[in-house]
Structure 1
Amino acid sequence: MEKIDTHAHVVPPGWRRYCEEHGFGKPDGMPAIPEWTPEAHIALMDKLGVSKSILSITSPGTYLKPGDDALARKITRETNEELAQICAQNPSRFGFFASLPLPDVEGSLAEIDHAIKLGASGFAVMTNAHGQYLGDYTLDAVFHKLNEVSAILFMHPTTCCGSDPGAVKPMNQYPSPMLEFFFDTTRAVTNLLLSGTVERNPNISFLVSHCGATLPPLVERFTSFSAIINAPSTLTSDQVKELFKTRFFFDLAGFPFPDLIHGYLRVCNGSRLLYGTDFPFTPAGMIEFQARTMDNGLRELFDEETIKGIYSGHAKRLLKL
């Protein structure tokens, strides 16, 4: 069955060099930045039946030195052009989500226009940009611009960051992707909803990583609290679930089977699921094992037509492929 991978990463040489120069050689507590080549990626795609992968830069993104907007703009521009070149050399196999130098608003506005000219399928942003979470009012102009261009916004988790960048992270002995990535996704999506950002920008399609992370069991809680704290948007849980079913998509990267998928299905349905691998940050061997688990899990839950949609149909419609 054909698959389209919407959660696939790329490690272009320039971005790797910048990460290593600025202290991100072991990003988010992981042992290293994995090796990546187009050839290795395509070989895995062929094994899995993936016709196309939408490449994106993952954590820590492209704003690598706090306070240095000029450097972030330079890294972002060079990285997006590297991705565009990789895709131009393999147009039938790769597309890409462009990076933005958030929290630099002016730089991000300029990069949106440039990325569209490069042929980006959408935009990949981290859940927080040096402590400014998606939905923060300081980023409103960027979301207004993304709304103007009817953008697809892929939100990828990164290490939690607050107002004190030197603060000790809880249970720092574990890499952030193991637990904290899920919590940071939940923070970002909750803030997008309660800030009113989602409602104010009806033309943006939001892509959430890892099957909704820890959002599902918390929807009732954060919507109930929104009225108590007079949040800008006091959505009910039913309204949030309706937004999930109309404005959001959720990928199956990570480990959604056998358990996480059931939490997701309490707040959304199969029509909003997308296939994802998280390669190369999830190793090829593990992805091949997960593929078998995913096949079995999907067949227990959905009919053939829905499974085809999850593997490729939903992505084709969303990305106009």
Structure 2
Amino acid sequence: MASRIPKLLVDIHTHVYLPRYASVLRSREVAPRILSRTTASGQTEERLLILDNEPSGGRPVGPQYWDRDEKLRFMDKHGIDISIVSMANPWLDFLPYKSALDLSTNLNADLQTYCSTSPSLTSVEPSLNRLYALGLIPLVNDTPADTLVPFIRNLSANHPHIRGIILGTRGRGKGLDEPELEEMWGALEETGLVVFLHPHYGVGGGENVWGERENGHVLPLALGFPFETTAAVTRLILSGLLDRHPNMRILLAHAGAALPLLSSRLASCITHDPLVAHRLQHDARYYLGKLYYDAVAYGAAELGFVSAVIGRAEREGTTREEEGDAERGSTRIMFGTDHPFFPPIGEEGGDQKWQSVLDNLDAVQGVAKWSGEAKDGVKGGNALRLFGLI
């Protein structure tokens, strides 16, 4: 493969519900499940219910959720060259260990086939397929911790088109900072698999935080999901994980959620709390420069801010933004679409491009502090490097 970095558009946040997984969800009577219902017009539709009490009884699902040709058509419509697909939440949390082990093993094999038999980039980069994947590990409440290391090593060794894993925040029910998971993190660092940390449950719904007014899914998705990610990755930082495993490659969904905005507040709270101040080898802000971020932020100002915070983090001990921070920080940010979620609403026909995708592309292009080279990196070059495709 050529050593040059081709100018490709790579989508690192794009989901799939493979047929095997969809069948499991159809067999269930409680969330998470796929259910059938009759619409007002008398037609039958399937809906995905991933949590109890979802607004509108879940979301309509169809071939775009599991059909590879639909994924490729979506990519072609938006000029996307390569997608790093991942199974979507709720993953395996609802299963006992033995069932989770069997399903994750089979789904990883399905993902390998899904990607390895996909078209190549032909004349552009014929050595590359258009699809690669993030696999699953059987991390559920009753998982024996000592079974995870051999599973991870086998996943890495025998599934060449799987370049990482997607991981929820619950772990074995106690969170990802549980001491018993230390060897799991060591195996992930050793194999070089990227860990895509993605929310599912959200936070903030207790004690009527969201109020009594009906606001659909906006508050849980816009706030609850990012807060879940923020709490999970902050707990990992406080545990000293990134000191013990400095080569760990953790990718955060939704542009790092609230962590970039709260990083200096976090650092101050740590400094003034003797219980945790001694745990870390660096200022808390330093660790933001060791993480990776998708660009699913929908705004140029937000991406520019996140990249400046990341770039500043690499100058440990500093609190003031300097020229060049945003450019430096951009190398850890990568384009994503969150397909098949957030499709066009109320538009007829199948040829229109998705506004959610266009907003994210416009955001990347609109960051004033990024050079053309930095924007090309966010669109594709950074992902090609992180996932070992070049």
Question: Under TM normalisation by the shorter chain, which class is it?
Answer: 0.7 to 0.9
CA distance in 2, matches of 1:259, 1:234: 34
Asked if the contact 2:298/2:360 (under 8 Å) is kept, the reply is no
Question: For residues 90 and 337 of structure 2, what CA distance do their matches in structure 1 show?
Answer: 18
The answer for the alignment partner of 2:356 in structure 1 is 287
- The residue aligned with 2:285 is 241
- 1:274 equivalent in alignment to 2:334: yes
Structure 1 pair 229–34 and aligned structure 2 pair: CA distance change class (3 A): farther
Which position in structure 1 is the counterpart of 2:252? 208
Contact 2:298 2:356 in 1 (8 A): no
Checking the alignment, whether the CA contact within 8 Å between 2:189 and 2:249 is kept in structure 1 is no
CA spacing shift, 1:70–1:33, aligned 2, 3 Å: farther
CA RMSD of aligned residues (A): 2.7
Counterpart check, 1:302 vs 2:385? no
Structure ranking higher on relative contact order (CA contacts 8 Å, 6+ apart): 1
Q: Which residue of 1 aligns with 2:294?
A: 251
Give matches, 1:42-191, under 5 Å.
Answer: 42-65=72-95, 68-90=96-118, 92-103=129-140, 104=143, 105-116=145-156, 117-119=158-160, 120-129=162-171, 131-160=173-202, 170-171=209-210, 174-175=216-217, 176-191=220-235
Would the aligned equivalents of 1:146 and 1:204 in 2 still touch at CA under 8 Å?
A: yes
Unaligned runs of 5+ in 1: none
Q: Distance in 1 between matches of 2:263 and 2:279?
A: 12
TM-score by length of 1: 0.87
Question: Which shows bigger deviation, 211-220 or 276-285?
Answer: 276-285
Matching residue of 2:59? 32
Alpha-carbon offset, residue 203 of structure 1 = 2.3
State the alpha-carbon separation in 2 of the partners of residues 123 and 295 from structure 1.
25
Give unmatched runs, 5+ long, in structure 2.
Answer: 1-6, 34-48, 120-128, 311-328, 344-352
State the Cα distance separating 1:9 from its structure 2 match: 0.8
Which residue of 1 is the match for residue 20 of structure 2?
A: 14
Identity of aligned residues (%): 24
Mapped to 1, the partners of 2:94 and 2:385 lie a distance apart of: 34
Distance 1:62 1:121, change over 3 A: same
SS in 1 for 2:354: helix
The 1-side partners of 2:208 and 2:341 are apart by 22
Using the TM superposition, name which of 302-311 and 146-155 deviates more. 146-155
| Rg larger for | 2
**Which structure has more helix as a fraction of its residues?**
1
Q: Which 4+ stretches in 1 moved above 6 angstroms?
A: none
Secondary structure of 1:19 counterpart = helix
Q: CA deviation at 1:32?
A: 2.9
